[in-house]
Amino acid sequence: MEVESLAREMETAVRVVHLASSLCVKVQEKLRLPSSINGNGNGGHVKSKDDDSPVTVADWGVQAIVSWILAEVFGTQNLSIVAEEDTDSLSKAESLALLGAVSNVVNEALSEATKYGLTKPDEPLGSDDILKAIGRCNSTGGPKGRHWVLDPVDGTLGFVRGDQYAVALALIEDSEVLLGVLGCPNYPVKKEGLSNGCNQSGAGSVSKGCVMYAKRGSGQAWMQPLLPNGYPESATLLKASTVDDPVLATVCEPVERANSNHLFTAGLANSMGVRKQPMRVYSMVKYAAIACGDAEVFMKFAQSSYKEKIWDHAAGVVIVEEAGGVVTDAGGRKLNFSKGVYLEGLDKGIIACSNTVLHDKIIGAVYASWESSSL
Ligand SMILES: Nc1ncnc2c1ncn2[C@@H]1O[C@H](COP(=O)(O)O)[C@@H](OP(=O)(O)O)[C@H]1O
Ligand SMILES: [Mg+2]
């Protein structure tokens, strides 16, 4: 497929995800401080949403800076951003302290924007600017036109637990995911990987944090190290694993039982001859693990009543596919990004694989196992 250059879009997206990832690193460090230093244990940085899932100043902070930068670079006219957070709880009168905390992290991050080759505001953003930037991301997407899709902190539970999480930004045009960028600030990257692709094994030290990105149709997915203070000079090519024997395959899946049926995936893996224990990881880092060759399979089978959101998959799908992998629902169909916020019509679950051989085996195994499952 011919994809227009999108060079400016890609460059902006990669740079802003670096900046956003550095914001998250700082907030996560604060969350890990002992409660004696941090007041009530999280310094008021973590709140519960209506569904009881956590939301933090990092979620709102990242959404604000990504929205602000995209608006600066591409203008607000026709700017459609579909993103996870809204301003409902943040704009309440009793949330002044929380809004102040968000404002602090946003302005701290934006003051560093030039280190990432991005424009910084002439003066610190006020609360109204920040609410406006967050609130602007209320697009519901759709089949036509261009939509940015953002999960500011994917795997917020992992984030508050000091574990893995991701910043995910994608660009969808006419229902197709054209660009994907994943910031994985806690992902362990083998040092060899920074010069040869992170699937190289062998002795060597491990560094923490990377940003992965890919453009549809390029046949290439890239990884950069996440630096503590600025934009890196280099990027290395990613390559998904060529392992096609289930005995040697690593399967990853959500940590939380509530998010995927561990019993069903264990039965599936067993029926295919998978021997290794599953690698349970929060967030879209699972897509990153497939793209860089650290794992071969990612499976997610949520409860049938749960509707998957596009921001939890868009960036990961294009990165895995351009790294040589394949992503479909459990019926073998491409994920459908044309229906707005949700991945409508999803057949049973999501299966991402490093290659088609393994993928075909899993799809076959799903149907054999499904009848006897309790999903
Ligand atoms: N009941 C449920 N079933 C499946 N997925 C769910 C879920 N509740 C939340 N999720 C999604 O699972 C994501 C976390 O992924 P994982 O379980 O792979 O770590 C959450 O992203 P957020 O953390 O951004 O809200 C959320 O979108
Ligand atoms: Mg998410």
Task: Write out pLDDT tens, residues 112-149.
Answer: 999 999 999 999 999 999 999 999 999 999 999 999 99
pLDDT at position 192 = 66
Ligand 1 probe mutation, 85, 265, 297, 312, most atoms within 8 A of CB:
312
Please give the Cα distance from 266 to 106 (Å, whole number): 42
Burial of 227 (0-12, 13-18, 19+ CB in 10 A): middle
**Picking from 34-43, 61-70, 264-273, 300-309, which range would have the lowest pLDDT averaged per residue?**
34-43
What's the one-letter identity of residue 260? S
236 lines ligand 1 (CB under 6 A): no
Q: Which residue lies with its CA nearest to atom 17 of ligand 1? A: 254
Say if residue 154 carries a ligand binding annotation: yes
Q: For residues 252 and 77, what is the distance between their CA atoms, to the nearest angstrom?
A: 40
Amino acid at 161: R
Neighbours of 121 (CB within 10 A): 15
> Which candidate, 38, 33, 22, 153, places its Cα nearest to that of 84?
153
Do residues 219 and 3 make contact, with C-beta atoms less than 8 angstroms apart? Answer: no
CA 151 to ligand 2 centroid distance, Å: 6
**So what's the pLDDT on residue 195?**
46
Question: Given this structure, which CATH class describes domain 7-237?
Answer: alpha beta
Rounded to the nearest angstrom, the distance between the alpha carbon of 249 and the centre of ligand 2 is 26
- Asked if domains 7-237 and 246-370 share a fold, the reply is no
The pLDDT mean for the chain works out to 92
Quick one: pLDDT at residue 149?
A: 98
Q: How far is CA 180 from the centre of its chain?
A: 9
CB-count exposure of residue 47 (10 Å: 0-12, 13-18, 19+): middle
pLDDT band at 42 (very low <50, low <70, confident <90, very high): low
Residue 190 confidence (pLDDT): 83
Q: Tokens representing 181?
A: 């960028």
Alpha-helical (H) ranges within 241-371 are 262-272, 285-291, 314-322, 356-370
More confident residue, 113 or 41: 113
pLDDT of residue 249: 98
**Does residue 37 surpass a pLDDT of 80?**
no
- Please give the distance, rounded to the nearest whole angstrom, from the Cα atom of residue 212 to the centre of ligand 1: 21
pTM of the model: 0.94
Largest CA distance in the chain: 62
Is 256 a pocket residue for ligand 1 (Cβ < 6 Å)? yes
CA-wise closest residue to 183 among 46, 58, 309, 367: 58
Tell me the pLDDT tens digit for each residue of 69-117.
999 999 999 999 999 999 998 999 889 999 999 999 999 999 999 999 9
- Whole-angstrom CA distances from 357 to 309, 329, 364 are 27, 16, 11
Does 347 count as an annotated binding residue? no
Interval 159-178 mean pLDDT: 97
Domain ranges of the chain: 7-237, 246-370
What is the residue with the minimal CA distance to atom 27 of ligand 1?
A: 312
Residue 358: exposure state from Cβ atoms within 10 A (0-12, 13-18, ≥19):
buried
The CATH number for 246-370, chosen from 3.40.50.300, 3.30.70.1150, 1.10.150.120, 3.40.190.80, is: 3.40.190.80
CB-based contacts of 96, cutoff 8 Å, min separation 6: none
- Predicted confidence (pLDDT) per residue in 269-302, tens digit: 999 999 999 999 999 999 999 999 999 999 999 9
* Residue 50 confidence (pLDDT) above 90: no
Q: Which residues contact 109 (CB under 8 A, 6 or more apart)?
A: 19, 20, 22, 23, 61, 65
Distance (angstroms) between ligand 1 centre and the Cα of 232 equals 30
- Ligand 1: residue of 154, 261, 279 to mutate (most ligand atoms within 8 A of CB) is 154
Q: What's the CA dihedral at 116, 117, 118, 120 to 10 degrees?
A: 80
174 is in an annotated binding site: no
**What letter would DSSP give residue 175?**
T
Active-site annotation, residues: 59, 156
- Among protein residues, the one with the nearest Cα to ligand 1's atom 4 is 259
Q: Report the pLDDT averaged over residues 235-246.
A: 97
Backbone angles phi, psi at 26, to 5 degrees: -65, -45
Which atom, in ligand 1's list, is nearest to the CA of 159?
Answer: 23
Residue 296's nearest CA partner among 234, 245, 332 is 245
- pLDDT surpassing 70 at residue 202: no
Q: Is 302 in the pocket of ligand 1 (CB under 6 A)?
A: yes
Tokens representing 219? 């046949």
Which amino acid makes up residue 300?
K
Length of the chain in terms of residues written: 375
Say what percent of the chain tops pLDDT 70: 91
Rg, the chain, Cα only: 20
